[in-house]
Amino acid sequence: MNRKWLPWIALGAVVAVAIVVLVAQSRPSDSVRSRTERLEHQLACPECSGESVFDSNSVSASVIRDDIPRRIAAGQTDDQIRADYVARYGERILLTPANGGIGVLAWLIPTLALLLGVFGIAAALRRWSRTPRLPADAEDEAIVAAAREHRDADA
């Protein structure tokens, strides 16, 4: 096997392991504690700017943190709990954009930007690797030889 492929194979292995780890960790658990934490991270503090209920120390965030486990114990689904808070506080309570309507743009634009960046870098690397290398002429060889002599004389 050619040695130039070894770093690419190692990179592929690292990426594959990272994907497996991320997928394994992203499986949502159905325990009350994990559902509570997940909802606390998805809901914004009504009083704070840009903070989740999980991170906020405000009174309203504390009330929501206490309310979520009660709702879960009452048998409400995560969607029902989020919908109730949206009805009470509006869409601004959600830290993650909706999967429909204008919220789709919030998911698509970063994804498209990332894909365009990857394809742009790939195209640039491909073009760069296909650029022919010019052979050194006699003048170039003379410059290199003079630089080597100068280096050897200084050493």
The predicted pLDDT at position 136 comes to 87
Residue 104 lies in a domain: no
Residues 16 and 79 occupy one common structural domain = yes
Residue 109 lies in a domain: no
Residues 87 and 49 occupy one common structural domain = yes
Residues 82 and 150 occupy one common structural domain = no
The predicted pLDDT at position 1 comes to 55
- Residues with Cβ within 8 Å of 37's Cβ and at least 6 positions away in sequence, in order, are 54
Per the structure, how many domains does the chain have?
Answer: 2
Residues 87 and 122 occupy one common structural domain = no
The predicted pLDDT at position 84 comes to 94
User: For residue range 64-120, what is the model confidence (pLDDT) as tens digits?
Assistant: 999 999 999 999 999 899 999 999 998 888 887 666 667 677 778 899 999 999 999
Q: Shortest CA distance to 55 belongs to which of 69, 45, 66?
A: 45
**Region of 133 on the Ramachandran plot (φ > 0 left; ψ -120 to 50 alpha; else beta):** beta
Residues 22 and 61 occupy one common structural domain = yes
Residues 81 and 125 occupy one common structural domain = no
Residue 110 lies in a domain: no
The predicted pLDDT at position 85 comes to 92
Residue 101 lies in a domain: no
Spatial separation of the C-alpha atoms in residues 124 and 92, rounded to whole Å: 41
Q: Inter-axis angle of helices 59-73 and 78-89, to 10 degrees? A: 140
At 4, the pLDDT band (50, 70, 90 cuts) reads confident
Amino acid type, 60:
S
Helix (H, G, I), strand (E, B) or coil at 58: coil
Spatial separation of the C-alpha atoms in residues 61 and 43, rounded to whole Å: 9
Query: Residue 46's domain is classified under what CATH number?
Result: 1.10.8.640
Residues 78 and 10 occupy one common structural domain = yes
- Residues with Cβ within 8 Å of 82's Cβ and at least 6 positions away in sequence, in order, are 39, 42, 43, 94
Q: Looking at the whole model, is its pTM more than 0.85?
A: no
Question: Which two tokens mark 82?
Answer: 């989020």
Residue 7 lies in a domain: yes
Residues 20 and 82 occupy one common structural domain = yes
Q: Which domain holds residue 75?
A: 3-96
Please work out, in degrees rounded to the nearest 5, the angle formed at the alpha carbon of residue 45 by the alpha carbons of 41 and 49. 110
**Buried (b) or exposed (e) across 95-131, using 16+ Cβ within 10 A?**
eeeeeeeeeeeeeeeeeeeeeeeeeeeeeeeeeeeee
Residues 140 and 73 occupy one common structural domain = no
Residues 76 and 142 occupy one common structural domain = no
User: For residue range 119-146, what is the model confidence (pLDDT) as tens digits?
Assistant: 999 999 888 888 787 888 999 999 999 9
The predicted pLDDT at position 100 comes to 64
